[in-house]
Structure 1
Amino acid sequence: MFRTFRGRLALMYVSLELGILLFAGLLLYTALSNRVYNEVDEELTNQATSLASSLEDTSSYFWSAHMSNFADHYAGAIQLISANGLELFRSDRSLIDRGGNDISRALGISFRSGRPAFASTESLLNKANVRVIAFPIYRDNRIIASLLLGHSTSDIRSVFNLMYLIGGILGAISILISAGAGYYMAKRALDPIQEITRIARAVAAGDLSRRLTSRAQEKEIGLLVRVLNKMFADLETSFMAQKRFTADASHELRLPLTILKGEIEVALRHPRSEGEYQQILRQQLGTIDRIQRIVNDLLTLARADAGQLELVQTPVDLSLLLQEVGQQHLILFDSQHVALEMDIEDDLEIMGDATQIERTMMNLLSNAFKHAPEHSAIYLSATAVKESVIICVRDEGPGIAEEQQGALFDRFFRADDARCRKDGEGAGLGLAICKRIVDAHEGDIWVQSKQGEGSSFFVRLPLHRAETAHQQRVSDVMDAAKA
C-alpha cells in the first residue's frame, strides 16, 4: 500500500496529524502544569504566611499548640525545623524523608536567603506527589526556624489522567479520520491520472481517436487534460497526414515508374534502330523529369515541415519581380489564347528570398493557366495596404467548390475534374509549397472562389519597413529643400 502515491499521501497525513497532536499535547501539558504549580504555590504561600505570622507573634513554648490547631484543619503535612536542624513539630511522615534532596535544598534556601522556596517530592503526575514550601520564621530580625507545608496533588493527577485519556481517544479518532481523508483525497486526485494512463495506453496501442473526458474541478488537472487532448489530436492529425502523404506519394510515383518500366520492356522486346532508341529514351527522360520534380517538391515540403527551409533574407524589388514573372508567361499564355492583365504598383519592396518568392508566383500563375479556358484572361495585381503588400492572381476558370477550399493547400490535393489541367502533369504539391514559402516569409495565402466565376488567390507579404522609413525620410528632406 505504501508503495503507491495514495498510500504515501495518507501516511503523510497521519504523520502530520500525529506530529501536530504531540506538539499540541506537549504545549498544553507545559501550560497547564505551570498554571497548576502557580496556583498551588500561591495557596501554600498564603497559608504559610498566616501560620508563620502567628508563630512569630507567639512564644516558642506555645508553638506546639498553634501547630496542632493548624494541623487539625489542614489537609496536608506540616513540619517545623529549627535553625540548628532540630525537628520541632511534625504532623505526618517527614517531608524531608519523602522529598529527599529537593526538600533539603529548599529548606537550605529558606534559611540562607530568608525567602520562601518550593520543591516537589516526585513528578507532578505521581500518585504520592506533594508540593512543599519552606517558609522562614523570624524572631528579632533573624531566622530561628523554617516551616514546611506540603500539599498533595493527587486530585490534579486525576484531572490530568482524565485529560490524557480524552486527548488520546480524540487523537486516535483524529488520526483515523485524517488517514481516511488523506486516502480519499489522494484517490480522488489520482482518478484523472488513472484515466490519463488508460487513454494514453489506448493511444499508444494505435487508437488515436481516444480523448480524455475528465471533469475534474482542480485547475491543474483540467489544464493537463486539455493539453493532453490537444496533444492526442495533434498526434492523430500528424499520423493521418503521414498516412495520407505516404499513400499519395506512392500513388504519384507509381504511375510514372510504371510507365517508365513499360516503355523499357517494350524497347527490349526486339532490336530497334538508333533513331527508335533515341525516341524511346527521350520519352523516358520526360518521365524521369516528372519523377524528379515530384521528389524535389517532396524534399522542399519535408524541409519546410522540419523548419529547415533555407531563405536568403535580402531586400527584394517585388514590383520588378512580378513584372518579370508575368513576362515569362506571355508566350505560354498566347499559345492557348489566354491574356495576361497586370496591375502592379511601383516601388514595392519586401525582405525575403527572391528565388522562393519567384517560385511561388510561378506556381500560382501556372496553376491559373491550367484552369483558365481559351480566350479568357488572367489578372495579376499587387497593391500596398498599410504595412503589407497584397498580391492577387485571378483566373476566369470554373472555380472551386466551397467544401474543397479548406484542403486546397494540402499536399497531393486536387480539386474536381471540372478544374481540368491542360497538361495533366500536376501532382498536387504546388499550392502546398506556396503556402510553406509564404508562411516562412511571415505572410498569408488564401483563396476566394465560386463555381462558375473563377478563382482568386491572394498572398500577403510584409513590406520592407526599414526601406519604407528611409524613403519617408528622403521625401521629408526633399520637401524641406524645396521649401
Structure 2
Amino acid sequence: MKLSFKDRIAFYYLAATTALVAIAFLLVYGIVYQTVYDNMDQVLSIEAYKHTTEVIIEGDSIHFINKGEWEEREHREAQVLPVFIQLMNSKGELMDKSPNLKNQELLFHPELEGGHHFDASLNDEVLRQIQIPLRTKDKLQGYILAAMSMQASIQVLRKLAWAEAISFPVVLISLFYITRSLADRSIRPIKEITRTAGRTSKRFLDERVPLPAKQDELYDLSQSINALLDRLQHAFKGEKQFSSDASHELRTPLATLRGSLEVLIRKARSQEEYEATIKSALVQIDRMADLSDQLLVLARMDSEALNLNQQALGIVVEEVLSSLHPLIQAKNLRVHLDLHQLESKEIPAYFGSLIFQNLIGNAVKYSPDSSELRIEARSTETGFSCSICDQGPGIPKEEQAQIFQAFYRSPQAIQNAPGSGLGLSIAQRAAEAIEARIDLQSEPGRGTCFYLHF
C-alpha cells in the first residue's frame, strides 16, 4: 500500500508512540501491582507478629490465649478484610486456628523457615499468606500462618488492566489522526514548492516559492529552491544567448563564403582570381571547422566531468608546447619554462590539457615576434599554481571581467589575431570542473599573466 508523506509521518510517529505508551502502561500496571502486594505483605506481617503475642506454648501444645474473647469479637464486629490465623507444631500438625477458618485449613510449607510471603487459595479464593516460625530459646516450636483475601486487590488490578487495554487503541488512533493533521499543516510549504515546480518551465522561470513566516528548515528549503530557480533562469538565459552568439558566429563565415562564391560565378575570372577566392573560402571553412571543434568541446565538457585520469604537470605542458611549436617558431618566441621541481605533480589530464592549450595558445597568439613567453610553477599554502605570462598588448581593466564570456573578443583582439572568443571560456569551465581557479593580471602595453591555482 502506497502511503502519502503525511501518512508516513503519522505512521512513524504512531510506531514510536505505541512503544512508549505500551511501556508507560506496563510501568503503571507494574507499579500498582507491586504497591498492592507490598501493602498486603506489610499488613500481613503486622497481623502475624501481632498474633504471636496471643499464642501460648505448653510443651508440644500450641494454642491461642483467650480464644473465647476472639470468637466473641468476630461475632460482634463485621470484618471487611478478615485475617485468617493458623497454628502448626514443628511436625506440621494443626494445633489451632482462627474461628473464621471453620473447617478449612491454610496451606503449610514445611520447607519455609523465615517469614516468607506467598500466594495460596481457599475455597477458590486467592489468598496472600505468610508463615512465621515460633521459637523458644532458639528451639523451633511451631509456626504461625496468617492469610488475607486478595480478591479485592485482584479486582482492582483487573479493572486497571481492562482500562489500559481499552484506552490503548483509543489513544493510538487519536494520536494518529492528530499527528496526521499536524503533519498536513507542516508540509503545506512543501506542497507549495511542488506546485511552483510544476508551473516552472523554460517559458515561466519567474515563478518563486513563497517564503514561510517562520524561519525554520522549510524556510531554508524554500530559499534554496528559489536560489536554484534563479540559477536555472540565469543558465537558460545564458544558453539562449550562447545559442544566439554561436548562430551568429557560424552565419558570418557562411555569409562571407556564399558572397565570395556568388561573385565568382557571375562571370569568367582569371586563374589568379579563382585561386584567391578559393583560398578565402578555405580560410572561412577553417574558421567554421575551428569554431565547430570548440563548440563540440564545450558540449562534451559535462560528459567528461568524470574523466579525471591523472597526468604529470610537466608532461601536459610539454605536449601543449609541442603542439604549438610551429607557431612559436614562426614568431621566434623565447619560451622560459620553470616548473620548480613540480613536473611530477599530477593534474587531471583532459581538463589540464584544455586549460593549458587555451591559456598558452592565447599567450602565443598575442605575443609580438621575438618576445618572451614565461611559464612557471610555484608551491602555495593550499597546493600549487602555474603562471603563463606574455609581452603582448595587454587587456584594458574594463574588459578583463568580460574576456571569459563565450564569444567575447575585445576590439584590440579582433584587430590583432583571428579567433572565435571561446578559448578562455573553455579554459574557465575546465578549471571549474576540477575545482581550480584562473586569475588575471594585465596592463595595456605591458603584457598579460594568467594564474592557474590548483
TM-score range, shorter chain: 0.5 to 0.7
Q: Residue type matched to 1:328 in 2?
A: A
1:239 alignment partner in structure 2? 236
Task: Write the distance in 2 (CA, Å) between the matches of 1:378 and 1:226.
Answer: 56
The partner residue of 1:16 within 16, 19, 24 is: 19
3-state secondary structure, aligned to 2:415:
coil
Residues 1:329 and 1:443: Cα distance change in structure 2 (over 3 Å): farther
2:359 alignment partner in structure 1? 360
Decide which structure has greater helix share: 1
Deviation (angstroms), 1:42: 0.9
Task: Write the distance in 2 (CA, Å) between the matches of 1:23 and 1:428.
Answer: 77
Asked if 1:460 corresponds to 2:454, the answer is: no
Task: Write the distance in 2 (CA, Å) between the matches of 1:236 and 1:51.
Answer: 100
CA contact (8 A) 2:62 2:95 kept: no
Deviation (angstroms), 1:9: 3.6
Task: Write the distance in 1 (CA, Å) between the matches of 2:63 and 2:357.
Answer: 129
Q: Deviations over 1:195-227 (max 9, x none)?
A: 5434443446764455564576666x6776676
Residues 1:25 and 1:433: Cα distance change in structure 2 (over 3 Å): closer
Asked if 1:444 corresponds to 2:438, the answer is: yes
1:412 alignment partner in structure 2? 407
Asked if 1:197 corresponds to 2:191, the answer is: no
CA contact (8 A) 1:378 1:396 kept: no
Deviation (angstroms), 1:435: 4.3
Task: Write the distance in 1 (CA, Å) between the matches of 2:133 and 2:223.
Answer: 82
1:31 alignment partner in structure 2? 34
Residues 1:407 and 1:209: Cα distance change in structure 2 (over 3 Å): farther
Task: Write the distance in 1 (CA, Å) between the matches of 2:263 and 2:242.
Answer: 32
Q: Which runs of 5+ in 2 are unaligned?
A: 380-384
State the TM-score, normalized to the length of structure 1. Answer: 0.62
Task: Write the distance in 2 (CA, Å) between the matches of 1:327 and 1:354.
Answer: 21
Deviation (angstroms), 1:35: 1.0
Deviation (angstroms), 1:456: 4.7
Deviation (angstroms), 1:461: 5.2
Moved more, 356-365 or 268-277: 268-277
Matches within 5 A, 1:49-128: 49-53=52-56, 64-65=67-68, 67-69=70-72, 71=74, 75=79, 76=82, 78=84, 91-92=99-100, 94=102, 96=104, 106-107=107-108, 109=109, 119-121=119-121
Moved more, 210-219 or 276-285: 210-219
Deviation (angstroms), 1:250: 1.4
Q: Which runs of 5+ in 1 are unaligned?
A: 97-102, 331-341, 370-376, 464-483
Matches within 5 A, 1:12-411: 12-53=15-56, 64-65=67-68, 67-69=70-72, 71=74, 75=79, 76=82, 78=84, 91-92=99-100, 94=102, 96=104, 106-107=107-108, 109=109, 119-121=119-121, 131-132=128-129, 149-152=146-149, 156=153, 182-183=179-180, 186-187=183-184, 190-191=187-188, 193-203=190-200, 207-208=204-205, 213=211, 231-265=228-262, 278-305=275-302, 306-307=304-305, 313-314=313-314, 328-329=330-331, 351=343, 357=356, 360-367=359-366, 382=374, 387=379, 390-393=387-390, 400=396, 402=398, 404-411=399-406
Q: Deviations over 1:4-32 (max 9, x none)?
A: 22332442354234213222223213321
Deviation (angstroms), 1:164: 7.5
The CA RMSD measured in Å over matched residues stands at 5.6
CA contact (8 A) 1:79 1:148 kept: yes
CA contact (8 A) 1:447 1:455 kept: no
Task: Write the distance in 2 (CA, Å) between the matches of 1:286 and 1:345.
Answer: 32
Task: Write the distance in 2 (CA, Å) between the matches of 1:205 and 1:441.
Answer: 29
Task: Write the distance in 2 (CA, Å) between the matches of 1:312 and 1:89.
Answer: 105
Q: Residue type matched to 1:296 in 2?
A: D
State the TM-score, normalized to the length of structure 2. Answer: 0.65
CA contact (8 A) 1:413 1:428 kept: yes
Q: Deviations over 1:271-318 (max 9, x none)?
A: 777766555433322221221121122234445553469978535579
